[in-house]
Amino acid sequence: MSMVATAIGVDVGGTFTDVAAWDGHQLVIGKISTTPDQSEGVVAGAGDAIGQANLLLHGTTVATNALLERKGARTALITTDGFADVLEIGRQDRPSLYDSFADRAEALVPRKRRVSGPEGLADAEAIAVSLLWSFRRPEEEQAVRDAVVAAYPGIAVSLSSRVAPEFREFERTSTTVLNAYLSPVVSRYLRNLREKSRAVGLSEEILVMRSSGGLMDIEAAIELPAAILLSGPAGGVIASAEMGRALGRERLVSFDMGGTSTDVCRIDGGAPETAYRRAIDGYPCLMPSVAVHTVGAGGGSVVWVDPGGALRVGPRSAGATPGPACYGRGGTEAAVSDADLLIGRLAPNLAGGMRLDPSLARDAIGKLAERLSMTVDAAALGIAEIVEAHMERAVRSVSVEQGADPRGSALVAFGGAGGMHATALARRLDMAGVVIPPHAGVFSALGLLLSPPRVDLSLSVGNGASLDDQVSTLGDAAIRRLEDTGSKAVEVVTSVDVRYRGQSHETTIPYRVGEGRAVLEERFHEAHRAMNGFARVGDPIETLTVRAAALGAPVLRWTDLDEVTPEGDERLGHRTVLTVKGEVEANVWWRPGLAAGAEIVGPAVIEEPEATVWVAQGERAVVHPSGALEVEW
């Protein structure tokens, strides 16, 4: 379909690249296989869906992949004399408390390239500068940068006073090194994408999804690539929150099961849980991000047998090429999609036009079944059970382990494979139900259209100004930074990191200027009790870091989308589906043909162009006017 669109969102996953375009009146969606050079798939996917766009919004895994594959730049670190080894000293903790063989991630900067001045760094491709007191005296790092640029013109330089102006030299240095390490890779990719977009007449204006769930312009992403390390999963989380508010559901867990991984995130009060301190592949990062937990369990996750004879799933993925065995692209290893196909949840002829080969899936799973002395059907059901157990642990990590009870929450399931495993997962956790959003197979791309332009700033508290003055000053700075990119701020969200005196960890508490210290203390006690099971009311507290996020207006709001209008026949027939209780005859429905208020009683399969939903026996799905499926039991 050819149209002139106001904006197009393109989200790149490990297996598929998803597209959602909005022209102010109509939503157009598409999906293609992810290409080795992500920019090729982005431009091709956008071109297939539309002819032209005024604005390209992009969720990418380029930074994540560069870190996971250790393909970043040759990086040097300039730091205060005596602190060159802080990256290796770290904290007095271990990656795995009871595993004596578990080691910390190897430092991204070798010892020979950690220095206290700009001399002797000619072989470096990027330089991180992290001085001990930079969060209080940024001018010292700026002077170092000037000297570095004079000695090595054109080199990428990251300053900790710009990247993460917070106390704790280890975490600040780690974040700055991450930023420098990723900078050349991300810069090359984004500039290349802009050139390719320009060459085919697509938009020259590109905004990139940042980990915190907002959009940043391309130059800001080049300067702060550490801010897009979780760019990929953020779009779906934002879309889940927006849809939840429209449906009157403010307690949710977003569940994005794609081809390579599954991403989950808790949403409370209509807003995603945000993390300000987390480790990514073992490296501490202070960039704010939606608090996504990722497991290597997707439709393309490879199934294998461990040395002890146990069936395992993931984390390795078959990817888009060759993909699961049933794709017929040369893959011979069994994957989760092969099991879903044999069980009957997945159809051989997908609605999107892709053909899957059951015989290839049976051959691949049959090899595993023979090793385990099982039938092929039992092995296929076992694969589904195992992948659902992996995902159950992921949901527990963002709910139970964080002091939140999942039983009052609904599971928002999307991604190409999410709907096939959602109800089994939700029922394992006794959750309140499942919501399958419209356009579930490209929901993260739709989330890009629903995401606002955003600037995140932080600063560790000084001893001079009052807390209100510091929060106000930082909020104003965030507004100015956002307006410098051409967006008008419509909301400013501020918060403060708080702890009991003597504690070594903080809790981030929402706070607006003028609310007063008593309100801040009360909120902190409540949050501490929810997270840790107790509060020390009356004990003195400390405020350490203030935070501000300035948000602009998104391209699209959920209420802008039209209510569901049925297209085509709603019934596609029936097929046999294998369950742990035996074979059942399931009705097959065409989701675009379902009218608002329609009720589907399981066992049933609901197909759409980009995804499939399995409704088990004893479950029922009702179509919301927005097109969302609300499943209960």
Of 1-5, 241-245, 290-294, 544-548, where does mean pLDDT reach its minimum? 1-5
Cα–Cα distance for residue pair 165/212, rounded to 1 Å? 17
| pLDDT level of residue 352 (50, 70, 90 thresholds) | low
Q: Using one digit for the tens of pLDDT, what is the confidence trace for 181-215? A: 999 999 999 999 999 999 888 888 999 999 999 99
Which of 223, 203, 274, 210 has its CA nearest to residue 54? 203
Q: Using one digit for the tens of pLDDT, what is the confidence trace for 587-625? A: 999 999 999 999 999 899 999 988 899 999 999 999 999
**How deeply is 562 buried, as exposed, middle or buried, from its count of CB atoms within 10 A (0-12, 13-18, 19+)?**
exposed
Q: Is the N-terminal amide bond of 322 cis, ω within 30° of 0?
A: yes
All domains in the chain, ordered by first residue: 4-66+187-228 (3.30.420.40), 69-183 (no CATH), 454-553 (no CATH), 571-632 (no CATH)
Is the pLDDT at 418 greater than 50? The verdict is yes
Q: Using one digit for the tens of pLDDT, what is the confidence trace for 89-133? A: 988 777 777 887 788 889 999 999 999 988 888 899 999 999 999
Q: What percent of the chain has pLDDT over 90?
A: 74
Residue position matching structure tokens 């940068």? 145
Do 524 and 498 form a contact (C-beta atoms < 8 A)?
yes
Q: What is the pTM of this model?
A: 0.91
Which spans in 104-210 are helix H?
138-151, 160-163, 169-199
Q: What percent of the chain has pLDDT over 70?
A: 98
> CA neighbours within 13 Å on the CB side: how many for 212?
26
| pLDDT level of residue 2 (50, 70, 90 thresholds) | very low
pLDDT of residue 296: 84
How large is the average pLDDT for residues 482-486?
Answer: 93
Pairing verdict, β 75-79 and 126-130: parallel
CA 325 to chain CA centroid, nearest Å = 27
Output the DSSP codes for 284-312.
Answer: EE-S-EE--EEES-STTEEEEE-TTS-EE
